[in-house]
Structure 1
Amino acid sequence: MEPFVKKIQENQPDLFTIDSWMEPYKELTAGFTSRHGGVSEAPYSTLNCGLHVQDKTEHVIRNRQLLAEAVGLPFDAFTYGEQVHGNEVAVVSLNEKGKGRTSRESAIQAKDGFITQEKGIVLCAQFADCVPLFFYDPVQQAIGLSHAGWKGSVLNISMATISLMTHTFGSRPSDIRAAIGPSIGICCYEVDDTVASRVYTVLSEIQAETDEQLTVIRRKANGKYMLNLQELNRKLLIQAGILSSHIEVTQLCTSCSTDHFFSHRKEGGSTGRMVAWIGLR
């Protein structure tokens, strides 16, 4: 069953929410934006939430405000980082609340993962093919969100996020729920030897068997490879101590579904960005 459920409401952006989390945990909000329901013009039409593309700043800010209105939390709760495809994770306190929502300069700098225990903070990260990783510890009431492109994945940002939750909040990996959100799938993600060699190194480090490796990466006749970043991150989450029964994995591919999502790869780089969000009310 697809964990990211599409929600269409009149005069609001189309959103994909993690209902299997939000229904039992009423304090939680978590999900992923679509490309529909905003004010941006082509090629960023319409719900572009990325300030770093060539869209009009006022349009991006309005789109982010529309997201906040649809989620039902104040705009000043939504907190953004300046992502760099690394594995650095920030602990977000009330001092950082609302950073980056209206400018890149005010964002939490050079971070690709974010964790907090603070109520009223919504963690946000931006995507257009990379893998969004959501974390929720219902015992310690802690949340996390990470951005895992191929670089962040092989740098094991999932482990970095879980380790920091454990160290900072006393979370136990066995209590943490994780969700892997819409991103480019193995159906569409072709990579070269440089990327493939890094992936094979990681698979070797976690002692993945040959048949397990084939679920992550497959060599093509043209010498390139098809890569499943979602499955790679699922394996890394399990390696970090998350129970497989506590991991939700989307079936949605951003490249296959440009009717719903922006895709950097499919659209040649000239496109918008979605936002993954998670917060505690």
Structure 2
Amino acid sequence: MKLEWKKASNAQSTRLHEVEGVPFLTFPKLEEAGVTHGFSTRLGGVSEGIFASMNLSYNRGDEKASVDENYRRMGKAIGFTPDQLVFSNQVHDTKIKIVTKEDCGKVMTGMDGLMTDEKGICLVTSYADCVPLFFYDPVKGVVAVSHSGWKGTVNRMGKKTVEKMESVYGSKAEDIIAAIGPSICQKCYEISEDVAIQFADAFPEEWYDTFMVDKGNGKYQLDLWKVNEYILLDAGILKEHLDITDLCTCCNPELLFSHRASKGKRGNLAGFIRL
């Protein structure tokens, strides 16, 4: 199918694929490293109504049988089977769970990040505007995926993920290949002053001035992509090992689920990564 995207930049950092009518997105650097991964669109599934059609959430009111079929289709497209999945139940915190094959089929409650060095496990996290962060260490054989909304971002979820890969598996930041996935862009993401103050307190002024625009009247536009780029580079990720998306969920509501664009009436996208 021919999809018409509104792109936030000309970065060419998000690639579109389609397998048997199921489109999904990948990132060049992870793809070239040979790690199985993908990010869903809202197309190619069987869900109906506000969930149409590739809803990957069991918790928003959709039919379980439809979500099961959506996962089956997405797995066939990307390269996993549903019984390999480990799910996160995200709470906008920065807790990260080390998972094993015993966790397959389970939901990791209260976790916004998942990590493993075991083959045959597919990590999955859910999104509808927040930032997906993907990680692969080809030297130690480790994958991770983290959910970073504004709360996760202000608390440096990306850096905490890198540090956990280093402490648990002996990874080196300069070996890690990473991607910042489709999420809400600065143009679409208006925040209030209390949130802007938290970012001002958390990050150097020279960073703040490049990712925050003061619109007046206590309203600001926040660039989550830029903040997460700073966080990952500060954690030691090399710029040449980092892909930054050019696709906004809110700019593309017909192709991606967006909480803001739909006013909360939506399904969920998902990010997947597997050794």
Q: Quickly name the TM-score band, shorter chain normalised.
A: over 0.9
| Structure 1 residue runs without a partner (length 5+) | 100-106
Deviation per CA, 1:191-238, whole angstroms, max 9, x where unpaired? 0012111111121xxx341xx323211110332000011111111111
CA RMSD of aligned residues (A): 1.2
Q: In the alignment, is the contact (CA less than 8 A) between 1:39 and 1:59 conserved in 2?
A: yes
Alignment pair present for 1:22 and 2:31 = yes
Alignment pair present for 1:7 and 2:17 = yes
Q: In the alignment, is the contact (CA less than 8 A) between 1:185 and 1:230 conserved in 2?
A: yes
| Structure 2 residue runs without a partner (length 5+) | 1-10
1:201-280 paired onto structure 2 within 5 Å: 201-203=201-203, 207-209=204-206, 212-280=207-275
TM-score by length of 2: 0.93
Q: In the alignment, is the contact (CA less than 8 A) between 2:29 and 2:177 conserved in 1?
A: no
Q: Give the ranges of 4+ consecutive aligned residues of structure 1 lying more than 3 Å apart after TM superposition.
A: none
Q: In the alignment, is the contact (CA less than 8 A) between 1:35 and 1:47 conserved in 2?
A: yes
Q: In structure 1, what is the Cα distance between the partners aligned to 2:238 and 2:188?
A: 28
Structure 2 counterpart of 1:48: 55
Q: In structure 2, what is the Cα distance between the partners aligned to 1:169 and 1:15?
A: 30
Alignment pair present for 1:109 and 2:109 = yes
Q: In structure 1, what is the Cα distance between the partners aligned to 2:224 and 2:218?
A: 19
Deviation larger for 60-69 or 188-197: 60-69
Q: In the alignment, is the contact (CA less than 8 A) between 1:4 and 1:31 conserved in 2?
A: no
Identity value in percent: 37
Q: In the alignment, is the contact (CA less than 8 A) between 2:26 and 2:37 conserved in 1?
A: yes
1:136-147 paired onto structure 2 within 5 Å: 136-147=136-147
Give the deviation of 1:73 after TM superposition. Answer: 2.2
Number of equivalenced pairs? 265
Give the deviation of 1:273 after TM superposition. Answer: 0.5
Structure 2 counterpart of 1:104: none
Alignment pair present for 1:131 and 2:131 = yes
Match of 1:66 among 61, 69, 73: 73
Deviation per CA, 1:158-216, whole angstroms, max 9, x where unpaired? 1211111111110011111110000000010000012111111121xxx341xx32321
Give the deviation of 1:9 after TM superposition. Answer: 3.0
